[in-house]
């Protein structure tokens, strides 16, 4: 009961933030544009056509969803600590563990609600243009897992920072770092430093952004050229099912480990 009430408060806090609605609006508008003007006429171009449109929606999710989750989670604890609301909350008959769980659940619920609306609107347009519902549903499912991983990361940062501004700076830096260390950026670094190719393959699964991208490309069975060298090598080693399982496991592990680390930091904070 306590965690549920705290989660409801967390949802309200997230929904009051203008940047939350800004990110959600960008995601919905971008998805609609992709489906309305992308190549999705399956009677003319077949599966490959809407696969491209879904790949575009996946790329949009890669940019918007992690930032939405990080900003929401980054402000959840640090913002309450800065205003003194956290001290008041902890003076009530609640445990720190319940507060942390409630904050996490509240942010995840708000982000998931926005994703369901976004994919619901996009899916309706896609269905009207002949795109099957299953690919949209799978993309939504994996995007929710991606969001949960970045909520955990953001809440970990929030538990370790004293102000909302500092937390925002850290999570924004993390967002840029994960994107910059994607397939192309990391390949350039590996070529420059002469690092082994196997390490690049490992990092492709460790980086949650890359793990999500590889899983969705394998799942949607879109253009194999989108995998990149590291992804193509992993596909050859693991197969599509193995690559999807490995990438999914990476996202789930990020969610669990970052949640545990954030909870531990919050429990030990003064």
DSSP tag of 194 = T
Q: How far is CA 13 from CA 6, 77, 132, 158, in A?
A: 11, 11, 35, 15
Spatial neighbors of 75 by CB under 8 A, at least 6 apart, are 13, 17, 158, 164, 167, 168
pLDDT digits (tens, 9 = 90+) for 121-135: 777 777 776 667 777
Q: What is the pTM of this model?
A: 0.85
Radius of gyration of the chain (CA): 19
Residuewise pLDDT in 10s, the chain (270 residues) = 667 666 666 666 666 666 667 767 777 777 677 666 655 444 433 444 566 667 777 888 888 889 889 988 888 888 888 888 888 887 788 888 888 988 898 889 888 888 888 777 777 777 776 667 777 888 889 999 999 999 999 999 999 988 888 988 999 899 888 887 765 556 565 656 666 666 777 778 888 998 898 888 888 765 566 666 677 777 777 888 888 899 999 999 999 999 999 999 998 865
Q: So where are the chain's domains?
A: 2-268
């Amino acid at each position: 009961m306590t965690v549920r009430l705290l989660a409801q408060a967390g949802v309200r806090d997230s929904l009051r933030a203008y940047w939350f609605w800004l990110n959600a609006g960008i995601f919905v508008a971008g998805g609609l544009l992709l489906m309305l003007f992308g190549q999705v006429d399956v009677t003319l171009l077949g599966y490959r056509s809407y696969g491209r449109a879904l790949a575009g929606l996946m790329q949009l999710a890669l940019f918007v969803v992690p930032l939405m989750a990080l900003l929401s989670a980054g402000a959840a604890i640090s913002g309450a600590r800065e205003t003194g609301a956290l001290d008041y909350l902890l003076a009530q008959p609640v445990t720190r563990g319940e507060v942390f769980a409630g904050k996490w659940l509240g942010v995840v619920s708000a982000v998931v609600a926005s994703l369901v609306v976004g994919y619901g609107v996009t899916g309706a347009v896609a269905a009207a243009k002949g795109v099957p519902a299953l690919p949209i549903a799978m993309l939504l499912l994996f995007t929710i897992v991606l969001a949960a991983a970045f909520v955990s990361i953001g809440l970990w940062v929030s538990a370790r920072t004293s102000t909302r501004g500092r937390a925002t700076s850290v999570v924004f830096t993390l967002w840029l770092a994960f994107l910059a260390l994607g397939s192309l950026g990391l390949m350039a670094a590996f070529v420059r430093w002469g690092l082994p190719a196997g390490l690049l393959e490992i990092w492709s699964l460790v980086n949650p952004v890359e793990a999500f991208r590889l899983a969705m490309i394998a799942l949607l069975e879109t253009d194999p050229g989108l995998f990149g060298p590291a992804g193509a090598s992993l596909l050859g080693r693991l197969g599509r099912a193995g690559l999807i399982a490995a990438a999914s496991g990476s996202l789930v592990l990020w969610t669990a480990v970052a949640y545990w680390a954030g909870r531990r930091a919050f429990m030990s904070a003064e």
